[in-house]
Amino acid sequence: MDAGAPPVQAEQDTPAGAGASSAGDKPPLLFLCHRIPYPPNKGDKIRSFHLLHHLSQHFDIYLGSFVDDPADWPWAPEVEKFCRGVLLRPLDARLATLRSLRGFLSGQALSIPYYTDPVLRRWVADTVATRGIRHAIVYSSAMAQFLPADGDGFRRKVIDFVDVDSDKWQQYALQKPWPLSWVYRREARCLLALEQSLAAQFDAGLFVSSAEAELFHQLSPATAHKIGFYNNGVNCTYFDPAFDSEASRPTPFPEGSLPLVFTGAMDYWPNVDAVVWFAREVFPALRRAYPKLTFTIVGGNPARAVQQLAALPGITVTGRVTDVRPYLKHALAAVAPMRIARGVQNKVLEAMAMARPVLVSRKGLEGIAADDGAEVLLAESAEDYQRLLAELLAGEHGSMGQQARVCVQQGFSWEDNLPEVVLLLGNDGAVPRHAKESLHYG
């Protein structure tokens, strides 16, 4: 068990709270999620939390999930507010990694044994039977293993793949030396087979963007008639450049500096790869041209390679912060130099919502319909960053921040996007958005 984790929680009926109502008012729903959907402080948890919150208005939710960060245990009561019953299981990453090696013997994707848990499996079976649950949503393909073997007893089953994970592992393989490259190629191949199988088994499969859904159509044409997407959203009331708080009044940056900022979970390899490349290959030349330029890396659990960047001139690594908004509000610009990416980068959406210019790679912009030069600035090379930074400092792109915020407000609203999932869970004849346009693939 993780250090500091409370005893494993048995199922409990929670009192009506921020998203719950008295038992029996709504149909029961099984919600399986690979990571506790609170606090919403990283990409997958932002999406899973808003999904949980919205579905709790239509279903009595029974949530089974893991806690892989001891710091998340105190947030369990917040999750319980939206659920009728909850089981949270501790997940030690070191032990889970060792357990995942069983996949080499079984022929499975390594992520399946990584999440294997007999207690959660028994809880799901008992809960489905005793509560008469006929609706299920699975968040992340590895969690589908916990559905009862006779899963055909469900009236509707929806899986939120979020990203095409198999393609992400294929990208990893291209960046790593042997033998890791071989392991990652194997994981990509096994995950694709799993994704294709699950897409066939579930009534609907969803991704984070039309681009992800289209990619999966190409990888699994036989299931295209079941595949759709719903965009992430941004709370533009919270991510508002006009927000005022004690924390926002002083700038977190050195006085007189020209701050660039990157935000994200800093133990996530694509983020690590992005900031290391930018800090070592791009930033030194920028700082020679503009000595007051600084680069601040904001995000929890910075990997060793990220921590080492703090020794470089002009670079700060903050670790976890209580509020990312002051760093965005007072920055000259946000950067998202992603070289490996799948899905939608919330860091880009949040910076746009805060009306900041964002210098972003094409991979970092995937799934975001924003116009280069009007709402974001595309940058792939060191030369691109030098040119665009010179334009920003010369006063060009003055209206970009506000145009970026409008783009997010119009296209990335949870209230507009999440009803799609409710429809798919509750309507036997519902077809996912995007699949309607792609039935010719089937």
- DSSP E strand boundaries for 53-146: 60-67, 85-90, 135-139
Does the residue 384 lie in any domain? yes
Alpha-carbon gap, residue 145 to 184, rounded angstroms: 21
pLDDT on residue 246? 59
Question: How far apart (Å, rounded) are the C-alpha atoms in residues 374 and 379?
Answer: 14
The pLDDT value recorded for residue 21 is: 39
What is the structure's pLDDT at 41?
Answer: 85
Cis peptide before 179 (omega within 30 of 0): yes
CATH number of 264's domain:
3.40.50.2000
> Are 211 and 269 within one domain?
no
Q: In the beta sheet, which residues pair with residue 62?
A: 30, 85
Q: Are residues 71 and 123 in the same domain?
A: yes
293, 330, 357, 373 from 256: Cα distances, Å: 9, 11, 19, 27
Same-domain pairing of 326 and 210 = no
Give a yes or no: residue 110 inside a domain. yes
pLDDT in the model for residue 249 = 66
Distance CA 119, CA 169 (A): 29
Q: Do both 177 and 89 map to the same domain? A: yes
- 363 and 399 co-located in one domain: yes
- CB neighbours of residue 105 within 10 Å: 8
Rounded CA gap, 64 and 32, in Å? 5
| Co-location of 431 and 405 in the same domain | no
* pLDDT in the model for residue 273: 95
Residues 156 and 211 in one domain: yes
**Same domain membership, residue 136 and residue 207:** yes
The C-alpha atoms of residue 4 and residue 1 are separated, in whole angstroms, by 8
Do 223 and 270 sit in the same domain of this protein?
no
Bridge partners (DSSP) of residue 90 are 67
Domain-located, residue 12: no
Tens of pLDDT, residue by residue, the chain (442 residues): 333 333 334 334 333 333 443 445 899 999 999 999 999 988 889 999 999 999 999 999 999 999 999 999 999 999 999 999 999 999 999 999 999 999 999 999 999 999 999 999 999 999 999 999 999 999 999 999 999 876 668 999 999 999 999 999 998 888 888 998 999 999 999 999 999 999 999 999 999 999 999 999 999 999 999 999 999 999 999 999 998 765 556 899 999 999 999 999 999 889 999 999 999 999 999 999 999 999 999 999 999 999 999 999 999 999 999 999 999 999 999 999 999 877 789 999 999 999 999 999 999 999 899 999 999 999 999 999 999 999 999 999 999 999 999 999 999 999 989 999 999 998 777 778 766 554 333 3
CB 82 within 8 A of CB 48: no
The answer to whether residue 206 sits within a structural domain is yes
- Does the residue 7 lie in any domain? no
41 and 178 within one domain: yes
**Collapsed DSSP state (helix, strand, coil) of residue 258:** strand
Report yes or no on 23 lying in a domain: no
**Does residue 240 sit within a domain?**
no
Q: Does one domain contain both 50 and 84?
A: yes
Both 104 and 187 in one domain: the answer is yes
Pick from 267, 268, 257: nearest CA to 292: 257
What is the token pair recorded at 24? Answer: 């029996």
- Establish if 70 belongs to a structural domain: yes
Other C-beta atoms closer than 10 Å to the C-beta of 167 total 18
Cβ-contact 22, 54 below 8 angstroms = no
CA atoms within 13 A on the CB side of 145: 18
Q: Are 253 and 331 in contact (CB under 8 A)?
A: yes
| Domain carrying residue 378 | 258-411
3-state secondary structure of 225: helix
Return d(Cα 320, Cα 323) in angstroms, integer. 9
- Number of structural domains (the chain) is 2
